Amino acid sequence: MIINSGIDLIEVKRIKKAANRWGNKFIKRVFTDEEISYSKEKKFFYQHLAARFAAKEAVLKAFGEGWRGFVRWKDVEVLKNKDGKPHIEVYGYLRELKNEKMIKSISISLSHTKDYAVANCILVR
């Protein structure tokens, strides 16, 4: 049973601008090593980072939490399974909330163009 959903759209240039302004400090604060490594392997690095940023936002919207003091950017991680399909891992407070709400799966869909990245998240009980 679907219990909630979240969606986010971001301009790729916002991620590129933040990375250029704050450098590795920004990237390391927001993205996990696995997310960075995956994105670096791709031709369009910032588009892939932007899609992961949108995914983190979409997941928090689905949980109804927002970026409170006890939720960190890296508490949401976008990984790929062996078939290349993205999936979400949550840590810390979000993992506790996932268990409390009896969420069995977090479905995520990502897409990007040259200028925009979008993510859609569905929580399933």
What residues are labeled active site? 61, 112
**Helix 45-63 to helix 33-40 angle, to the nearest 10 degrees?**
140
Q: How far apart are CA 124 and CA 31, in angstroms?
A: 25
Q: How far apart are CA 2 and CA 99, in angstroms?
A: 15
Phi, psi of 75 (to 5 degrees): -75, -10
Which one-letter DSSP state was computed for residue 42? Answer: S
Q: How far apart are CA 61 and CA 106, in angstroms?
A: 12
What size, in residues, is the chain? 125
